[in-house]
Amino acid sequence: MRFFRNNGLLIVVFSIFLACLIGQAVSGYFADQQDRTMHGLASQSFTSFLGSGEFLESVFENWESEFLEKWAYVFLTAYLVQRGSAESKDPDADSPEDKNLADHRADPNAPWPVRRGGAILWLYSHSLGTALFLIFVATFVFHLWQSTRHAAEQAAQHHQPAETILAHLISGQFWFESFQNWQSEFLSTGVLVLLAIWLRERGSPESKPVHAPNAKTGH
C-alpha cells in the first residue's frame, strides 16, 4: 500500500499507456483486416501486424511528437515566462531553479554531481532536457525507418518500386505524418499555459492555488 501511495501517479500513467497501446494494436489489426478484405489481399496474423511497418510507424510517429513537445517545453520554460500562468516561472522573482549551485556543494544530501561540480555538474544540470531530446531523436529515426517500411509495403501491394529511406525522408508523406502530430502537441501545450492563468484544478501541482489571483505566476 505504501509503495502504491508513493508511486501511484507513475503506476497509473504507465498502466493507462499500456492499455492504450494494447487498444491501438487490437483496433489497428481489425482495421488492417478490413482494409485487406476490401482490396482483396490475404489476411495476416496479429503478430505479423505488430511487426509491420504500418503499426510500428503509427507508434513511433506519436512517440516522436510527444517527446519533441516535452523537450521543447522543458527547454523553453527554462528561458521564457508567461505572466500569470502556473506553467511558468515568476518573471519578478528569483527562481529556486536558478540558485547558485556552488552553495549546495557541501550539502551531503545533494546529488553527487552537485557535490562534484565542474563538467559533471554542467551535464547533470541539463540532463533532463538532454535525455528528452535524445529520446525524440531516437523516435524520429524509428518513425522514419518504419514509415519507409510502411511505404514499401504499400508500394509492393501496387507493384511499384519502394523508396529509399533518404527519398522517403524528403517526401511529403513523411513530413505530413510528423507535422500533423507536432502541431497538435504545441497547440495543447499553448492552451494549457493559457488556461492556467485563469482556471484552477484544486489539489493539482499543475494549477495555482484556487485562492491565488490571476496575475500570480507559478505555484
| Residue 6 sits in the same domain as residue 108 | no
| Residue 140 CA to its chain's centroid (Å) | 11
| Residue 110 sits in the same domain as residue 4 | no
For position 103, what pLDDT does the model report?
76
| Residue 101 sits in the same domain as residue 203 | yes
Q: What is the pLDDT averaged over residues 50-74?
A: 97
How far is the C-alpha of 185 from the C-alpha of 68, rounded, in Å?
9
Say which residue, 103 or 212, is predicted with more confidence: 212
| Residue 17 sits in the same domain as residue 33 | yes
| Residue 58 sits in the same domain as residue 131 | yes
| Residue 92 sits in the same domain as residue 153 | yes
| Residue 68 sits in the same domain as residue 161 | yes
For position 155, what pLDDT does the model report?
93
| Residue 113 sits in the same domain as residue 43 | no
| Residues in CB range of 94: below 8 A, 6 or more apart | none
Q: What is the pLDDT averaged over residues 163-183?
A: 96
For position 104, what pLDDT does the model report?
78
Number of structural domains in the chain: 2
For position 105, what pLDDT does the model report?
80
| Residue 69 sits in the same domain as residue 145 | yes
Share of the chain above pLDDT 70, in %: 98
Query: Which string of DSSP letters, residue by residue, matches 133-169?
Result: HHHHHHHHHHHHHHHHHHHHHHHHHTT-PPPPHHHHH
| Residues in CB range of 21: below 8 A, 6 or more apart | 59
**Residue labelled with grid coordinates 482494409:** 35
Whether residue 155 contacts residue 148, with contact meaning beta carbons closer than 8 Å, is answered with no
| Residue 80 sits in the same domain as residue 178 | yes
How far is the C-alpha of 164 from the C-alpha of 95, rounded, in Å?
49
Q: What is the pLDDT averaged over residues 95-122?
A: 82
Say if residue 108's pLDDT is above 90: no
How far is the C-alpha of 87 from the C-alpha of 199, rounded, in Å?
12
Between the CA of residue 100 and those of 116, 121, 195, 214, what are the distances in Å?
A: 14, 12, 32, 30
| Residue 159 sits in the same domain as residue 94 | yes
**pTM (global) more than 0.85:** yes
| Residue 16 sits in the same domain as residue 99 | no
Burial of 81 from C-beta contacts in 10 A (0-12 / 13-18 / 19+): middle
Say which residue, 134 or 206, is predicted with more confidence: 134
Domain membership of residue 158 as a residue range? 52-219
